[in-house]
Structure formats: structure tokens, C-alpha cells
Amino acid sequence: MPRQQLRLYSDLATWWPLMSPPSEYVEEAADLLPLLLDGVSADGKPTLLELGSGGGSLAWHLKPHFALTLTDLSPGMLAVSQRINPECEHLAGDMTSLELGRTFDRVLVHDAIMYATTPDAVRATIATAARHCRDGGRVVILPDCVLETFAPSTEHGGEDGAVGRGLRYLMWTHDLSPDTSTFEVDYAFMLRQPDGRVIVEHDRHREGCFPRADWLAWFDAAGLEARVHRDPWNRDVFVAEKRRPT
């Protein structure tokens, strides 16, 4: 399947801080941190690799607790993250095939996993996470939904920024496509320029949705023992320990 051309992460990437700033992640980070910190050594900062780290808004809350390596496919999103997380390592890479040649105490994949739209892509991402996780370490993957929790929805938001810029968006999640494991999300953006002009832009994303049992089987096949943490937003957070060699 050809790679999606997603405007939100390319020509519109500079608007990300007005759509999804760190202030939007306070409660989510508070729920995730105990899952990530549990069991790590108290000697120095533990290491954490985030695959598909985007604009770094979640990482902003994690960096006091971890030495972070942030990876993403989009140069524009990495540039956004570098501005707010200059102390973190940033690397370009695809979550389905990244190879850094080193391991980390924790590996995290947030909602970037939704762009794995086939079972093969999900398995490849889990394999990347497992490959970069030390023996006895932990992989945490947080899809927006699994098949059992999926529901069409709408969402809206946005922020005002400096020098007169502002953004408002409408996000429209459609029903699952017939006979597939994907759904489409349409975004409408109203972008206010410093001179007061408002430009309207549209972007369509295809995302993947798979049964919980399939996820657990894929973790097991990658050498990861996974459990499900149900977060306050009714999402399945997969918390997986990497098995030690026997």
C-alpha cells in the first residue's frame, strides 16, 4: 500500500503547537507515567525510545523522568519537537523498520500506531519495539482504539498563538470501511494568519483497527508478554514485558 500523504505532518506541521500542545497531555501523561516508571532502576535516568513521537507534546511530560530518544518519519514534526524538547535526541525513522543498533529500558508507541493499517504493519512495528527493548524491559503501545472499542465520532478544538495566528479544527471519524480493518478521519482546519486572513484546509487520514486478541497474539509472537491497562478514556494500553532468554 502506498504511504499516505498526510498534510497535518508535512505542509501543515508548523501549526501542530496550536492543535495539540503539551497542555493537552497533562492527564494522559499522568496515567502513562506509572506504567512506564514501574520497575525501572533508580540509578540515573532510565532510557526511553518513542516511535512516531510526532510534535513531542507527550514527550514534554516524560523528559523529566527519562533520557528520551524521539523518532518520527516526518522532518516537519521532528522540527516542532526539537523546539520544545531541545535536550532530547531526535532521529528520523519509520516505526516499521527502524534499526538503531541499541536497546532501551522502555519503548513507547503512542497514537502513531494508528497509521499501521495492516496486520503486517502492526507486527512490524511491534517487532521494531521488541528489537529495541532490553531483556526484561517494557514496551507500551497505546492505540486510539481496538475493534471492540471503536466508535465513529467528532471532535473539535484549537488554540490561539503569537502574532495573531490561530487554529480551529473539526475531526470527523467515520465508520469502519466494509470488509477491511481501516477507517477514515477527515480534518477541517481554519487557520488564521497574522494579517487576519483565515484559510480553510482539508486533510484525510486512513487508520487501522484490529481485535484485541490479535494484538495480544502479535505481542506474544514478538517475545513480549502483554497485558491490557484500560485508561480513563476507555482505551486499551498494551503493557508488555520483554521475556528474558532462558
- Cα–Cα distance for residue pair 77/92, rounded to 1 Å: 10
Q: Let me know if residue 109 belongs to a domain.
A: yes
- Cα–Cα distance for residue pair 56/88, rounded to 1 Å: 10
pTM of the model: 0.96
- Cα–Cα distance for residue pair 157/18, rounded to 1 Å: 9
Q: Let me know if residue 28 belongs to a domain.
A: yes
pLDDT of res. 41:
76
Q: How many domains does the chain have?
A: 2
CA distances to 15, 125, 230 from 193, in Å: 11, 38, 40
Please check whether residues 83 and 159 belong to one and the same domain: no
- Cα–Cα distance for residue pair 131/58, rounded to 1 Å: 23
Please check whether residues 120 and 186 belong to one and the same domain: no
Please check whether residues 50 and 135 belong to one and the same domain: yes
Please check whether residues 159 and 232 belong to one and the same domain: no
Q: What digits encode the pLDDT tens for the residues 180-233?
A: 899 999 999 999 999 999 999 999 999 999 999 999 999 999 999 999 999 999
Q: Let me know if residue 63 belongs to a domain.
A: yes
Please check whether residues 180 and 59 belong to one and the same domain: no
**Between β-strands 104-109 and 133-141, what pairing exists: parallel, antiparallel or unpaired?**
parallel
Closest by CA to 239, choosing from 176, 228, 153, is 228
Please check whether residues 219 and 101 belong to one and the same domain: yes
Closest by CA to 194, choosing from 14, 23, 9, is 14
pLDDT of res. 2:
57
Please check whether residues 222 and 200 belong to one and the same domain: no
User: For helices 119-131 and 212-221, what crossing angle results, to 10°?
Assistant: 40
Q: Let me know if residue 196 belongs to a domain.
A: yes
Cell numbers placing 149: 472499542
Q: Let me know if residue 142 belongs to a domain.
A: yes
Task: Please report, for the domain that includes residue 53, its CATH number.
Answer: 3.40.50.150
Please check whether residues 138 and 50 belong to one and the same domain: yes
Task: Give yes or no for a contact between 105 and 40, defined as CB atoms under 8 angstroms apart.
Answer: yes
pLDDT of res. 88:
98
Q: Let me know if residue 1 belongs to a domain.
A: no
Residue 93, C-beta contacts closer than 8 angstroms, at least 6 positions apart: 51, 71, 72, 73, 100
Residues of the chain with pLDDT under 50: 1
Q: Let me know if residue 2 belongs to a domain.
A: no
Q: Let me know if residue 141 belongs to a domain.
A: yes
Task: Please report, for the domain that includes residue 172, its CATH number.
Answer: 2.20.25.110
Per the structure, the complete domain to which residue 174 belongs is given by: 153-208
Please check whether residues 55 and 28 belong to one and the same domain: yes
Please check whether residues 26 and 130 belong to one and the same domain: yes
Please check whether residues 224 and 180 belong to one and the same domain: no
Please check whether residues 130 and 237 belong to one and the same domain: yes
Cell numbers placing 53: 513521537
Cell numbers placing 108: 513507547
